[in-house]
Amino acid sequence: MIMGCAQGYLRDHGPRVAVLASRLGRELDLSEDACARLFFAGVLSDMGMVGLAEDAWEHPRPTLSPEARARVRLHPERSQEAVRRIPHLESLAPLIRSHHEWWNGSGYPDGLVGERIPEEARILRLADTVSALRQPRPHRRALTADEASEIVRRSGGQEFGPGVTRVFLSMDRGGRVPGYDPQVYRTMLGGFAGTLLPEAVPPLSAQQLLRILADLIDAKDPYTAGHSRRVAALAVAVAEQLGLPGAVTEVLWASGYLHDLGKLRVPLRVLTKPGRLSDDEVGYIRAHPVLGADLLGTIPTLRHLTHAVRYHHERWDGQGYPAGLRRDRIPLTAQILAVCDAYDAMVSTRAYRDARSPDDALEEIARCSGMHFNPRVAEAFFEVSEETFAAVHADRPVSPRFVSEAQRRRADTAFDGTTMMRTF
């Protein structure tokens, strides 16, 4: 879902590919492990599309320009690199790399031919194409099942391997091509997770997942690389200065990584525009906290982060967005993120301005204390150690002292980001 483009045209594409690819695997009598690999590869195969060709979606044409097509061709390798960092799913990387190879050798990125293309990648190629054809795009309507099947028939032996083509057409004639049902998808997700993943996933994987998601967010805009990690590290440091409980510190750590999740739905042309934004473009920017919080609200294990993410652009004087909250009505987690986000934005280069020096940024935070920022939070920010700032500026990893597993479970199930709203 978070990999959808600004207009949301690809939001359900990965799950649709996953459902069809795994069904094709079963029709081909592949093992349950192979079907599980197909399912997760289908979900993750387009991770690398983030930020690559959104202009083509916003200004649709029947065919992509050569420049846009060249960018799109990068996504299998970008997806491969992202998947390599996902614990227990690293083995999917070669399959994902090859999911745009064509049977006749005209695919990419490696120009593999025929049987040299892994069988599971051949299945993904067909499932990807059929799923795309059956969904509407900015420049065309969704194709009917018969129209999609006719394209598959004509493309057998060219784009698609003969074997997978025959099986798909047999499924189509027998009425066995699955439709997409979100509830069925979630059930399949749980079943295949039990097949492919170990019974106990170590706690480190949660931290790695945050970093993977942050990399996706930062990949959207080349000017914000590393921003999410730096905000998370600074937020934890401020929490420690304030003496906040470990459970709250963990919420800040995770929400720091994900505070800009909603920017995945903001057009890249807006994020990277060098000049003044129009009113409509400002509207896109102001929507990102709500979009991010709404996305997190759909993920049960991340719902407790929604308040910090939704309100991290509120101001102490009530002039912020999206709700115009003021003073104690702003969740403390959001107040902390606001200072850390503002600081890192100021000391980072943006499309519309050069980076400011750390001293200039600190002076601006001091000037805005009591207007933009809770004065006590701003004071705690100034008390963060020079060593922490140096590590953050150097983009060295800064890991918090994580709370116990029991505390983590309590935070996941009980803390909603609203309980710490008092004034210091």
Q: Tell me: the pLDDT tens digits for 67-87?
A: 888 988 999 999 998 888 777
Q: How far is CA 56 from the centre of its chain?
A: 20
Q: Could you report the per-residue pLDDT of 12-58, keeping only the tens digit for each?
A: 899 999 999 999 999 999 999 999 999 999 999 988 887 676 666 66
pLDDT of residue 408: 42
Q: Which residues pair with 350 in a beta bridge?
A: 353
Domains of the chain, first to last: 13-196 (1.10.3210.10), 204-414 (1.10.3210.10)
Q: Could you report the per-residue pLDDT of 284-336, keeping only the tens digit for each?
A: 999 999 999 998 888 777 889 999 999 999 999 999 999 999 999 999 999 99
By C-alpha distance, which of 192, 50, 194, 45 is closest to 121?
45
Q: Please give the share of the chain, as a percent, with pLDDT higher than 70.
A: 82
Q: How far apart are CA 391 and CA 399, in angstroms?
A: 11
Q: How far apart are CA 317 and CA 334, in angstroms?
A: 14
340-345 long-range contacts, CB within 8 A, separation 24+: 340/230, 340/231, 340/234, 340/235, 340/238, 340/256, 340/381, 341/231, 341/259, 341/312, 341/313, 342/368, 342/372, 342/373, 343/234, 343/381, 344/227, 344/230, 344/231, 344/234, 344/392, 345/227
Q: How far is CA 320 from the centre of its chain?
A: 25
DSSP-based three-state secondary structure for 411: helix
Q: pTM of this prediction?
A: 0.70
Across the chain, mean pLDDT equals 85
Return the DSSP state at 185. Answer: H
For the chain, how long is the longest CA-to-CA vector? 70
Mean pLDDT is lowest, of 77-86, 124-133, 173-182, 222-231, for 222-231
Q: What is the rounded end-to-end Cα distance, in angstroms, of the chain?
A: 39
